[in-house]
Structure 1
Amino acid sequence: MSFSSSLSRRLLLKSTILLAASTTLAGRGFAQEAASGRLIVAADSEPKNLNPAIVASNGVFFISSKVIEPLAEASFDGKDGLAPRLAVEWQGSEDGLSATFKLREGVTWHDGKPFTSADVAFSALSVWKTLQNLGRLVFAHLETVDTPDAHTAVFRFSKPTPFQLIRNALPVVTSVLPKHVYEGTDIATNPANNKLVGTGPFVFAEYKPGEYYRLTRNEKYWNAGQPKLQEIIYRILPDRAGAGAALEAEEIHLAAFSAVPLADLSRISKVPGIMVIADGYEALTYQLVVEINHRRKELADLKVRQAIAHAIDKKFVVDTIFLGYATASSGPVPKNAPEFYTDEVETYDFDVAKANALLDEAGYKRGEGGNRFSLKLLPAPYFNETKQFGAYLRQALAEVGIDAELVNNDSAAHQKAVYTDHAFDLAIAPPVFRGDPAISTTILVKSGTPAGVGFSNQGGYENKNLDALIDKAAETVNTETRTELYKEFQKKVTEDLPLINVAEWGFITVARDTVQNVASNPRWAVSNWADAELVS
């Protein structure tokens, strides 16, 4: 097979030279890509900012995590579920007012400058604490970072900050940036945000809008013998159906984040040379959630919220919408987070009769045509599954006399309507559980979040007791006590239903069987791929 099919005839027509001048691609075969160590991957988006220290999202990490490294990465077998990266040791103080990191020696930035504790201090104080969407929560009380030597960083906090939280957040919020590149600049608009300079196993080489990103091997990577690959090409394929076709045509090696639609997995798994892999997303659990606008009189009534919960057939959702690639949720912490999860919570079995009875008790009798009241329902547009669930929920609500108007928006309009304008009654969201309830989970129900903050409580729900519990857990240093507080948090959320957790799922990777070491850690798709390799 010629390389004109390997990176697609369309791309070659767009550019006479597809990659850098030093790379000769014309006439190459797919098997030769394995021999040369060039991994070709499907990418379904083009982030406007590739800097993971500013935008801690999976779409950014998918590319940038190969270039920019965190202090530690998730691991199946490492201490505390972590593997060292730029830090080799970490320890929190008993009073929660400091955390000490011993940093790796002999590491250089891709531009040749040495990596030191000054880079960590700069990143923590100037970026994670002030600019990053998740780091603002974790490092809210970070006051200073002492650097007694080039390979020690001591974080000091103005209020007790649980080391359990810091430890769980390390893979997500501690992407380290080069101080010498960013200091004295407008960090948010620095050109290095899209031409990354890191310490990782791959060097950012090239980006061609609408076509591809190219990363090349870091010949001076600190981990001898890695990376195994010579290049990674992210071929931009926004159409999910296109990823499966490209895999079957041997144009790409791998598609992550369920880029191949779930409906195609059964068939494509039978294609010789293709693997369907559900592992490697254990630390990236997505949750299907019904967000509720409590400003609506009807929805402020707990019985109405309970009725909606009883009207949802979670088994149908798992089996039909997710085709079995999900599990039913019991609450705001997923089952695959055993450190915090509890099943001792209020549950709402699928029961249409009970839902109808609760609505009658709440005083919302069926009127002419069987309708009780009408709602505006906005499903998030990010995944097919959230949109499909929106259509299902409309039908489920109709069964209990609630008329839901389905409003489908693009991503920008949806986020504005829900999180800024509050122009919704119910919304479907896919928040991510990132290893600790304090990261992207408690914010979904805690009151007081300003309008405009995405993936937060913008439904007007307020529960002072729940807020107090969340605040107490945020400053509880003892790990056992903090864990118990989050189990109590789950009980309170399921009792009062500020939102409704429906299902939880990880993604699927589909790859050619020539790709080795897929899913080698719980955040594989957004980890550094230093051990990934191709075989002929």
Structure 2
Amino acid sequence: MKRRGFNKMLLGAGLALPAMSLFRDGVAYAQGAAGGLTAIINPEPPVLVLPINQQIPTGTIGGKIYESLLSYDFELKPQPQLAESWEISEDGLTYTFHLAKKAKWHDGKPFTSADVVFSCNVMLKEVHPRARGVFDRCESITAPDDHTVVFKLKAPFGPFLLAFETSSAPMAPKHIYEGTDYRKNPANDTPIGTGPFKLKEWSRGSHIHLVANEDYYLEGQPVLTEIFYKVVPDGASRSVAMETGEAQLSQFADIEPFDVPRLAAMPNLKMTTKGYEFFSPVLWYELNLRKKPFDDLRFRKAARLLLDPKFIVDKINFGLGKPATGPIASTTKFYDPNVTIYKTDVAAANALLDEMGLKKDANGVRTTIKFLVVPFGEFWTRLAEYFRQAMKQGGIEVVLETTDPGGFAQRVSNWEFDTTSNMLYQNGDPALGVARSYISSNIRKGVMFTNTEGYSNKEVDELFDRAAVLTSDKERAELYSKVQKILVDDLPVLWMTEQQFPTIHDARLENAIDTAIGVNGTFGRARWAS
């Protein structure tokens, strides 16, 4: 398929006929005026327990059920959540948090400092891809009383206050998980958090029904009485649901990019790209460096030269986002544009493959690789198809493999793939959201969103480690500039785009997007305009 043909395929998808409603299934979904909200979710999350799984749909729904100590405004300044206030010692080594005294778990048990110590010092270190890298920096995590937690660091760590975003450090109930196999705990079917909403029903393949937590510790919250997350696998049906008002909220890649301008122009709907500032996601193609030919830098460079990030922005994202130049997004601190810039060059790519000795057979194929497609909707399918077509220009045959969300996470985290695509959050600081994908100490089999490609470079490890503990932004910037240049030359992954996501919602819905994590926030203040 030529690019012209690929464009026709995308345009054809945009002209799909309206799909039959998937909401006429006998369920009384919320319709706004009654105080509830019906939102789209795609795909269906494999689990709702946010401490165990941080995939996009889990984070969106789990952010209503679970909380952390802090939230963040659009400028990434920390705001109270389960911690009402906090102090930092002058030497930057001691952080003292004072917890909300009225907070309770959904089963009625009080939330205390013991839950924070257990979550940060025990459970999250084992099951969370980022928590160990943060909380291993602590010399101690102690609870002098039921509502105070003291974190003493071994050395200063500038972005420590950014580590308490809900998906980064979701609090887990000690009385439920202590001493158990966290991933097999029976309570995982009925998640228990402290958030403003709690699970009432999960009808697999249909919907997830959250209801207001009557014992929520923040007065006047939540305003909404319930939230239905309707599972809608078909892209055309998602667009129709928003257009007709059957659903009142979509997020991330729920709406296919070619449909975004049309829906955003409708008077009954609003569209915003705010609420993703904390995440600033970077999309890339990932290669398993443990396998041949991906362990050869010449192959990785050839693959990169066959790709065109601007094509992804223009033809797959329909203008949402911009080409990425490396591991750090331009929307975050310490971005350096002065790195090697790769331009599409098919002839140069083929020369590198020739140099490797990968000869073409009678069908023009040098080698065959497999691509594990992200099972999160049509956008990811098109991204995989574009990769397949781009690689064909170099005589690289790509076989697409499909799986479900749980299977995808299992295969990638266990390194059972050749190539795939991914999109990782920056999480406010390179020490939190970037380093984890490249430092060799975070090559952790079985844990998603770690260094799953298997990249190891001692100098990169040292630069990330030194930059994390410095308190001067100028000194940190110098180190992060060096590490960006090294990584872009090494190509451990093939960075493509800095993603922008549209959140489309009923024009009457207010206060849903009020923090830097947007739709992943609590929705405690979300309400319908009177």
TM-score (norm 2): 0.85
Q: 1:407 aligns with which of 379, 390, 400?
A: 400
* Correspondence for 1:430: 423
- Kept after mapping to 1: 8 A contact 2:158/2:469: no
Q: Does 2:260 align with 1:265?
A: yes
Task: Indicate how the Cα distance of structure 1 residues 476 and 353 shifts in structure 2: closer, same or farther if over 3 A, else same.
Answer: same
Q: 1:101 deviation in Å?
A: 1.5
- Per-residue CA distance 1:81-118 (angstroms, 9 max, x = gap): 22211113334456665432122344344444443322
- Kept after mapping to 2: 8 A contact 1:49/1:193: yes
RMSD: 3.2
Structure 1 counterpart of 2:167, one-letter code:
V
- Kept after mapping to 1: 8 A contact 2:66/2:194: yes
Task: Indicate how the Cα distance of structure 1 residues 517 and 381 shifts in structure 2: closer, same or farther if over 3 A, else same.
Answer: same
Structure 2 counterpart of 1:312, one-letter code:
L
- Following superposition of structure 1 onto structure 2, how do residues 12-91 of structure 1 map, counting pairs within 5 Å? 12=27, 33-77=31-75, 80-91=76-87
| SS at 1:34 equivalent | coil
Structure 1 counterpart of 2:502, one-letter code:
I
Q: 1:314 deviation in Å?
A: 1.7
Q: 1:318 aligns with which of 313, 318, 331?
A: 313
Q: Which moved more, 1:250-259 or 1:413-422?
A: 413-422
| SS at 2:245 equivalent | coil
- Kept after mapping to 2: 8 A contact 1:125/1:145: yes
Counterpart-to-counterpart distance in 1, 2:379 and 2:85: 40
- Kept after mapping to 1: 8 A contact 2:335/2:481: yes
Aligned residues: 508
Q: 1:372 deviation in Å?
A: 7.4
Structure 1 counterpart of 2:436, one-letter code:
I
| SS at 1:123 equivalent | helix
* Correspondence for 1:22: none
Structure 1 counterpart of 2:23, one-letter code:
S
- Kept after mapping to 1: 8 A contact 2:142/2:150: yes
TM-score (norm 1): 0.84
- Kept after mapping to 2: 8 A contact 1:284/1:506: no
* Correspondence for 1:489: 483
Counterpart-to-counterpart distance in 2, 1:108 and 1:452: 32
Q: 1:307 deviation in Å?
A: 3.2
* Correspondence for 1:138: 134
* Correspondence for 1:210: 205
Q: 1:172 deviation in Å?
A: 2.9
Q: 1:286 aligns with which of 278, 281, 292?
A: 281
Task: Indicate how the Cα distance of structure 1 residues 418 and 83 shifts in structure 2: closer, same or farther if over 3 A, else same.
Answer: closer
Q: 1:256 deviation in Å?
A: 1.8
Q: Does 2:512 align with 1:514?
A: no
Q: 1:330 deviation in Å?
A: 0.5
Runs of 4+ residues deviating >6 angstroms: none
Task: Indicate how the Cα distance of structure 1 residues 297 and 105 shifts in structure 2: closer, same or farther if over 3 A, else same.
Answer: closer
- Kept after mapping to 1: 8 A contact 2:252/2:502: yes
Task: Indicate how the Cα distance of structure 1 residues 217 and 407 shifts in structure 2: closer, same or farther if over 3 A, else same.
Answer: closer
Structure 2 counterpart of 1:409, one-letter code:
T
| SS at 1:60 equivalent | helix
- Kept after mapping to 2: 8 A contact 1:386/1:429: no
Task: Indicate how the Cα distance of structure 1 residues 459 and 241 shifts in structure 2: closer, same or farther if over 3 A, else same.
Answer: same
Q: 1:284 deviation in Å?
A: 2.5
Q: Which moved more, 1:164-173 or 1:324-333?
A: 164-173
Q: 1:459 deviation in Å?
A: 4.2
Q: 1:75 deviation in Å?
A: 1.1
- Kept after mapping to 2: 8 A contact 1:94/1:477: no
Q: Which moved more, 1:508-517 or 1:413-422?
A: 413-422
* Correspondence for 2:414: 420
For structure 2, the residue ranges without an aligned partner over 5 or more in a row are 1-19
| SS at 2:504 equivalent | strand
Counterpart-to-counterpart distance in 2, 1:185 and 1:374: 46
Structure 2 counterpart of 1:237, one-letter code:
V
Structure 2 counterpart of 1:50, one-letter code:
L
Q: Which moved more, 1:147-156 or 1:264-273?
A: 264-273
Counterpart-to-counterpart distance in 2, 1:429 and 1:184: 33
Task: Indicate how the Cα distance of structure 1 residues 69 and 301 shifts in structure 2: closer, same or farther if over 3 A, else same.
Answer: closer
Q: Does 2:389 align with 1:374?
A: no
